[in-house]
C-alpha cells in the first residue's frame, strides 16, 4: 500500500498543471534569459517595421505636391525658386532635385551626374535602415539555435550526473527549451525576412 501511495505521489508530481496556458508554457520553457532576448528582438523588429512602413511610402519619398510645384517653376523658367523649393524639402525626391539644380549652372551633364550621385546616396541611406530588419531576421534563428544547443546540453548533463535514469519530466525541461527557442526564433525570423524582401 505504501508503495502504491509513493507511485501515486510521483505520478501527481509528473503530471502537468491543469489549466496552464500555452503562453505560460512557452515562458517557462524559454527561461528568463531567452525571454528577455526574444522580447528585445520582438520590440526592435516591431519598431523597425513601423518606421519603415511610415518612411517608405511613395507619398513620403516622392511627394506629389513637390513634383507639381517644381515642374511649374521649371516651366516658368523660375530656376532659383525651383532650387529653393527642392532644397527646403527633406524628402528623397527633394534632395535629388536640389543636387541637380545646384549643378545646373555647370551644364546639363553635370546636373544629371549630381542627381545620380544624390540618388545613390539616398538609396544607400534607405538600404541601411532596411538592413536592420534583415539583421533581426538573421539573429532570431541564431539565438533559437543557441537555445537548442543550451537545452540539449542541460538535458545530457542531467543524464550524466545521475547514477539512475532521470525521470522524463526532468529531461523535458531541457528538451522543451531546445525546441521552444527554435520555434520562437523562426516566428521572428520569417516575418522579418519577408518584410525585408518587401521593402
Which residues 6+ apart lie within 8 Å of 138 measured at CB?
189
Dist. CA 60–CA 63, nearest whole Å: 6
Q: What is the DSSP string of 8-31?
A: HHHHHHHSPPTT--HHHHHHHHHH
Per-residue confidence (pLDDT) for residue 196, from 0 to 100:
92
What is the b/e burial string over 74-107, where b = at least 16 CB atoms within 10 angstroms of the residue's CB? eeeeeeeebbebbeebebbbbbbbbbbbbbeeee
Phi, psi for residue 85 in degrees, rounded to 5? -60, -45
| Mean per-residue pLDDT over the chain, rounded | 83
CA atoms of 160 and 173, how far apart (whole Å)? 15
Q: For position 19, what pLDDT does the model report?
A: 58
Q: What is the mean pLDDT of the segment spanning 79-101? A: 87
Q: Which of 43-52, 75-84, 115-124 has the lowest mean pLDDT?
A: 75-84
pTM: 0.70
Q: Give the cell for residue 2.
A: 505504501
Which pLDDT belongs to residue 133? Answer: 93
Instruction: Show the cell assigned to 57.
Output: 511610402
Average pLDDT estimate for 47-66: 89
DSSP, residue by residue, 108-135: HHHHHHHHHHHHHHHHHHHHHHHHHHHH
Instruction: State the pLDDT at residue 25.
Output: 77
Q: Is a pLDDT exceeding 80 seen at residue 173?
A: no
pLDDT for 80 beyond 80: yes
pLDDT at 143: 92
pLDDT for res 17: 46
Tell me what percent of the residues of the chain surpass a pLDDT of 90.
24
Judge whether residue 117 has pLDDT over 50: yes
Amino acid at each position: 500500500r505504501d508503495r502504491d501511495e509513493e507511485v501515486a505521489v510521483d505520478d501527481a508530481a509528473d503530471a502537468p498543471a491543469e489549466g496552464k496556458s500555452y503562453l505560460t508554457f512557452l515562458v517557462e520553457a524559454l527561461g528568463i534569459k531567452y525571454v528577455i532576448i526574444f522580447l528585445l528582438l520582438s520590440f526592435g523588429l516591431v519598431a523597425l517595421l513601423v518606421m519603415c512602413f511610415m518612411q517608405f511610402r511613395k507619398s513620403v519619398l516622392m511627394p506629389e505636391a513637390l513634383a507639381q510645384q517644381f515642374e511649374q517653376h521649371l516651366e516658368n523658367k523660375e530656376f532659383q525658386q525651383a532650387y529653393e523649393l527642392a532644397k527646403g524639402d527633406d524628402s528623397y525626391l527633394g534632395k535629388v532635385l536640389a543636387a541637380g539644380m545646384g549643378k545646373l549652372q555647370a551644364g546639363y551633364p553635370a546636373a544629371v551626374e549630381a542627381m545620380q550621385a544624390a540618388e545613390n546616396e539616398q538609396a544607400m541611406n534607405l538600404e541601411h535602415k532596411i538592413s536592420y530588419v534583415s539583421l533581426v531576421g538573421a539573429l532570431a534563428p541564431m539565438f533559437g539555435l543557441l537555445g537548442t544547443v543550451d537545452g540539449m546540453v542541460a538535458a545530457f548533463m542531467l543524464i550524466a550526473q545521475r547514477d539512475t535514469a532521470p525521470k522524463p519530466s526532468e529531461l523535458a525541461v531541457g528538451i522543451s527549451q531546445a525546441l521552444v527557442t527554435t520555434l520562437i526564433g523562426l516566428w521572428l525570423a520569417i516575418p522579418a525576412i519577408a518584410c525585408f524582401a518587401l521593402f
